[in-house]
Amino acid sequence: MKKMILTIVMLTGIIGLANAQDATAKETPKKYMQITTIESVIGGGFGRSKMVITKEDGSQEERDMENLFSLTGMNMKNIKSNESDILKTLKTYTDDGWKIEQVTPLTLSPSDKGTGIFMTRYLLTKADEKKGF
């Protein structure tokens, strides 16, 4: 009885290992791209808000974005404009076959003087057909 159980456990392990190796062998290589948005919270237009797109070949494209605050405080028009730009950019790439793999939000406020940034990184992946098996 013990030998039979041991044999079943060993066979299950061997089959599982074979399936795992088979699954990794069939995995399609991926291309990576990152989109980073940097939104300034410095009022009065003194901040610099940007979108940086790092493509799979390493080339970069930089686009201007609106600052989140104006002289009078939070600027909803600018926030809406940034949201629209981010969504349009992501839609362009997802329509082209890219998949949003991970989103990482970050904030930086080096002092208590009301300065800082909101930064979000969008990691996108796409199957690399050229390197397929």
Separation CA 112–CA 121 (nearest Å): 24
User: By mean pLDDT, which of 20-29, 46-55, 101-110 is the weakest?
Assistant: 20-29
Q: Structure pTM?
A: 0.72
How many CB atoms are located within 10 Å of the residue 101 CB? Answer: 14
- Is a pLDDT exceeding 90 seen at residue 23? no
Instruction: Give every CB contact of residue 85 below 8 A, 6+ residues apart in sequence.
Output: 51, 63, 65
Closest to 118 (Cα-Cα) out of 23, 36, 30:
36
Length of the chain: 133
- Is a pLDDT exceeding 60 seen at residue 28? yes
How many CB atoms are located within 10 Å of the residue 79 CB? Answer: 15
Task: Report which secondary-structure segment, H or E, holds 63.
Answer: strand 60-65
* Three-state secondary-structure class, residue 15: helix
pLDDT at 91: 97
Tens digit of pLDDT for each residue in 72-103?
A: 778 899 899 999 999 999 999 999 999 999 99
83: left (phi over 0), alpha (psi -120 to 50) or beta: alpha
Q: How confident is the model at residue 68 (pLDDT cuts 50, 70, 90)?
A: confident
